[in-house]
C-alpha cells in the first residue's frame, strides 16, 4: 500500500513540476476515489496505477480518462 501511495504522489509531483522535498507532505492520497489533492495549491488530480511485472506505474492527470491498463507496449520479452 505504501508503494502505491508513493508512486501516485510522485506522479502528481512530477505532473506539477514540483520537488519531493517541498511538496511531498502537501499531497493527500485517496485510494478509493483515485484522487490526489495538494493542500496548499488546492490542486485536484486523478490517478491510475498499473502493475507490470515487478513495477508499479502511476499516472497523474487532471481530466478523467478511459485509460486501459491492460494495454502496455514493451520491447522485451518477460
pLDDT digits (tens, 9 = 90+) for 2-61: 999 999 999 999 999 999 999 999 999 999 999 999 999 999 999 999 888 888 999 999
- pLDDT band at residue 68 using 50, 70 and 90 as cut-offs: low
pLDDT at residue number 73: 63
- pLDDT band at residue 77 using 50, 70 and 90 as cut-offs: low
- Residue 1 pLDDT greater than 90, yes or no: no
pLDDT at residue number 53: 81
**Rg of the chain over CA atoms, in angstroms?**
13
Amino acid at each position: 500500500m505504501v508503494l502505491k501511495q508513493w508512486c501516485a504522489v510522485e506522479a502528481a509531483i512530477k505532473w506539477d513540476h514540483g520537488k519531493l522535498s517541498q511538496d511531498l507532505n502537501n499531497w493527500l492520497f485517496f485510494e478509493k476515489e483515485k484522487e490526489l489533492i495538494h493542500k496548499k495549491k488546492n490542486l485536484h488530480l486523478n490517478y491510475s496505477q498499473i502493475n507490470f511485472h515487478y513495477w508499479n506505474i502511476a499516472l497523474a492527470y487532471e481530466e478523467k480518462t478511459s485509460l486501459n491498463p491492460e494495454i502496455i507496449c514493451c520491447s522485451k520479452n518477460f
